[in-house]
Structures are given as structure tokens and as C-alpha cells.
């Protein structure tokens, strides 16, 4: 073989071996990439699966209402039943929610008069889930709201401050509950449950206020103390009668029955 032919043959063989090496390297790289992909597929959840699993989590643990409220689940079953009685007084139709007409009509029967516009604003204020009506969940969420309850108690104090129109709408359901209780619109047991619930809520709010003051001032001066033995009327009921309610509920819990004496 001539030298030139030998050189060409060597060059071809060299190129062929390089192509073979490149091909082998390419196969190795592809195998490695495939292995990495399998690992990633096992570790990283695909977007479709991720969205579905996220949805399952939200369905299992529903998002809480974005409000400073105590939800229905925080109430005892008998307290829920008591608020259910109050809710039923507002419902005039067969629907399971309160609409604007139901609210205005029921409030007027309790001598709480609002214009149609104010009734609409009051409904919007109580419509927590923003579906245009007041569900039982909305109803209880509003009536267990700490901020609104504090505002309501301030409005019933010996020296109430002037409330704005929006503040009046925010506490109109509390005014309605008080009217139901003072006019005996509710069954005795439901009345006792609701009044005792608010009685405890008010005392807890006083203790919390004192605790906050002690944190700010180090020691609470005597002028900062509130005598919780002389509480104002809760929902129009005196403390003396509230204690009778408490005794009745305690007796019921113990499986006893006590005659109701005024």
C-alpha cells in the first residue's frame, strides 16, 4: 500500500473510532439523563398531581373565614342549638338563609327600624362569605365576633359614645338578640345558653384587658381595676338572673330539673 493510501486509511480509522467514541459517550449521557429523569419524577410531584393534592388538602381543611371570629366549631352543641333558634326567627321563607327582606321585616317586628338601604348595608356587614345572604355560619360568626361584641357592650354602657351609621349596622344582630331575650322570643333553655355565653365572654374580655394593662404598666394601679362582681346587664339581663340561668344549666348538665323562680 502506498504511503498516501496508508495515511488516508489511518485518518478514516481515526475518524471512525472518534465517531464510535462520540456515539458511546452519547449513549452514556442519554442513559444518565434518563436515570436522572426517573429520579426527578419520583421526587418531584408533577404539576397536575400537585394541584389535585393541594385541592384535596383544601377540601379536607377548609380555609377559615378571614375575620376575627370564633367559628361555629368553637361553640358547644347546646350553644349552637340556641343560636339556631334565634336564626330561625329571621327566616321567613323556606330557604336556609336570611335575605334582605327577611332581615328588614324581622328587625321591624323587634322595633328596630332600618331603611331599605341600611338593611342592605347591615346584610352586607353580616354576609361573611359574600354570597348575598346570611347563612347560619355567617350568623354565628358575627354574633361571636369579639370586636363587634365589645362595640355592642360599649353602646349599652352608662356613658355610650356616639356610634357611626356603619357601626350601628355592624351590631344590629346583637340588638336583635337582646330584643329576643328581653321579650321572651326564645325558648328558656336557648335564652339561658346565649346569655351565659355572653356573660362569660364579657368577663373574659375584662380579664384580658387587665392582663394587657399589666404587661404595659408592669403593675396595674387600683384605678385600672374593673370590679367584675358588678357587671352591667348582659343582653338586658341582670347578673342576679344570669346566675339563675347558670344554676339551671348546671342542674340540666347534672340530669336534674329545678323549678324556675324569678
CATH of domain 72-253: 1.10.238.10
C-alpha cell at 184: 321572651
pLDDT tens profile 251-261: 988 876 545 44
Instruction: Measure Cα distances from 234 to 77, 90, 192 in Å.
Output: 22, 22, 11
pLDDT tens profile 132-152: 999 999 999 999 999 999 999
Q: What string of DSSP letters covers 108-171?
A: HHTT----HHHHHHHHHHH-TT-SSSB-HHHHHHHHT-HHHHHHHHHHTSSSPPPPPHHHHHHT
Closest by alpha carbon to 174, among 125, 101, 244? 125
Measure the CA dihedral 206/208/211/212, to 10°. -110
Is there a contact between 79 and 197 (Cβ–Cβ < 8 Å)?
yes
Closest by alpha carbon to 203, among 227, 220, 167, 184? 227
pLDDT tens profile 21-49: 545 555 554 555 455 445 434 433 444 44
DSSP 3-state of 99? coil
What's the rounded Cα separation, in Å, for the pair 197 and 235? 11
pLDDT of residue 132: 93
Whether 71 has a pLDDT exceeding 50, the answer reads no
Taking the model in full, what pTM does it have? 0.65
Domain ranges of the chain: 3-60, 72-253
State the DSSP code for 223: G
Amino acid at each position: 500500500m502506498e504511503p498516501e493510501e496508508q495515511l488516508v486509511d489511518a485518518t478514516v480509522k481515526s475518524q471512525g473510532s472518534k465517531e464510535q467514541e462520540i456515539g458511546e459517550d452519547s449513549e452514556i449521557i442519554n442513559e444518565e439523563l434518563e436515570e436522572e429523569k426517573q429520579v426527578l419524577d419520583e421526587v418531584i410531584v408533577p404539576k397536575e398531581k400537585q394541584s389535585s393534592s393541594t385541592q384535596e388538602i383544601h377540601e379536607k381543611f377548609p380555609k377559615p373565614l378571614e375575620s376575627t371570629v370564633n367559628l361555629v366549631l368553637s361553640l358547644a352543641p347546646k350553644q349552637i342549638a340556641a343560636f339556631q333558634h334565634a336564626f330561625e326567627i329571621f327566616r321567613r321563607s323556606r330557604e336556609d338563609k336570611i335575605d334582605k327582606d327577611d332581615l328588614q321585616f324581622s328587625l321591624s317586628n323587634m322595633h328596630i327600624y332600618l331603611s331599605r338601604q341600611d338593611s342592605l348595608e347591615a346584610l352586607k356587614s353580616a354576609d361573611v362569605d359574600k354570597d348575598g345572604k346570611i347563612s347560619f355560619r355567617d350568623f354565628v360568626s358575627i354574633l361571636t365576633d369579639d370586636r363587634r361584641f365589645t362595640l355592642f357592650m360599649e353602646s349599652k354602657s352608662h356613658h355610650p359614645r356616639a356610634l357611626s351609621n356603619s357601626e350601628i349596622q355592624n351590631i344590629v344582630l346583637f340588638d336583635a338578640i337582646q330584643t329576643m331575650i328581653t321579650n321572651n322570643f326564645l325558648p328558656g333553655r336557648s335564652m339561658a345558653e346565649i346569655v351565659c355565653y355572653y356573660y362569660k365572654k364579657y368577663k373574659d374580655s375584662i380579664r384580658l384587658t387587665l392582663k394587657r394593662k399589666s404587661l404595659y404598666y408592669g403593675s396595674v394601679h387600683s384605678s385600672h381595676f374593673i370590679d367584675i362582681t358588678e357587671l352591667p346587664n348582659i343582653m338586658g339581663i341582670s347578673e342576679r338572673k344570669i346566675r339563675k340561668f347558670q344554676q339551671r344549666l348546671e342542674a340540666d348538665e347534672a340530669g336534674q330539673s329545678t323549678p324556675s323562680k324569678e
